[in-house]
Copies of this chain bind each other. A is one copy, B any other.
């Protein structure tokens, strides 16, 4: 006998479409919201509605923002000569948290992944090339901060090639042992990168 109300089944279904949330977790969340006052569920519903209504992409760096251009692109105190290229908006967040970077950003919204059918034309690479060209000689360095994995490296190589022969310095974030990490547990590739990138004390 079908004893579960349709709206409950519907919410369980919607929750379980989210990544990393299985049917068990989805039904746990649904019954949790059902037990709590309605305003809990409504607050979450409102936040979901506002997400796409109020958030847009900056027309210059393609980071998420409420205003276009975004706060970083419209801040004249940021160093206009450096652009840090990242895969996702979350990466901008991570770099901002260090408080060590004062330049601009450019968000690719992905990496080149032929297996998944994602080519350079699906990313904001053309937009980066044009942005740098429009800025004339202003840009002195492009830091390619894609992830240190196969796709990230391939994407970095591809981007570097677009600026070959120019006067712009193309750099990549240092690879090495993570701070607080243990040499004993480091994988061979990280360790060999840490060796080749060693610095004088």
A interface residues, Cβ below 8 angstroms from B? 1-8, 10-11, 13-15, 17-21, 25, 27-35, 38, 40-55, 63-66, 70-72, 75, 88-90, 92-93, 96, 109
Contact = CB atoms under 8 A, between A and B. Distances in A.
Nearest to A4: B93
The interface residues of chain A, by DSSP majority, are classed as helix
A19 B25 CA distance: 10
A38 B48 CA distance: 9
Q: Which of A8, A19, A46, A93 has the most CB of B within 10 A?
A: A8
B49 A41 contact: yes
B48 A33 contact: yes
12 contacts: A6-B54, A7-B51, A10-B50, A11-B50, A17-B44, A19-B32, A20-B25, A31-B88, A41-B49, A44-B45, A45-B48, A48-B48
Contacts of A10: 47, 50
Contact of A32 (B18, B33, B47, B65): B18
Contact of A31 (B27, B28, B90): B90
A14 B89 CA distance: 19
Given A3-B72, A4-B93, A29-B19, A41 B34 contact: no
Nearest to A2: B71
A41 to B, nearest CB: 5
A178 B35 CA distance: 29
A1 B27 CA distance: 38
A14 B47 contact: yes
A51 B11 contact: yes
A28 B20 contact: yes
Contacts of A6: 54, 66
Nearest to A6: B66
Contacts of A43: 14
Contacts of A29: 18-21
